[in-house]
Amino acid sequence: MITHTVTFRLAHDRGSAAERDFLDTARHELSAIDGVRDFTINDQVGAKSDLTLQFSMAFADQTAYDAYNAHPAHVAFVRERWVPEVVEFQEFDYVRHEG
């Protein structure tokens, strides 16, 4: 299982209609891609980072994750929404530590 997370800050004001539209579009388009499990949007509540939002999702394996990254809906979302609207981000991918 791979947990994919991306923590980010939008160019839009917090709570704005533009922010809601971005998040609603992400939820609708990205969670519908085959292989995506447990898609969530999280709000940052700590004061130690100015990255205010996070997407988190899981994939059964590397093949499912690779298919997501190459999927036309993901590619279009990144090109049409992510690149012009995200100011800063950090991406992390995890597998469970066995030990």
pTM beyond 0.85, yes or no: yes
Assign domain 2-93 one CATH number from 3.30.70.100, 3.40.640.10, 3.40.50.300, 3.90.25.10: 3.30.70.100
Question: Per-domain residue ranges for the chain?
Answer: 2-93
How do residues 28-57 score in pLDDT, each as one tens digit? 999 999 999 999 999 999 889 999 999 999
CB atoms within 10 A of CB 46: 6
Those residues with Cβ within 8 angstroms of residue 48's Cβ, 6 or more apart along the chain or in another chain: none
CA angle 93, 71, 32 (to 5 degrees): 85
What's the pLDDT score for residue 99? 78
Q: How far is CA 61 from CA 29, 34, 44, 47, in A?
A: 21, 13, 27, 34
Mean pLDDT of the chain: 96
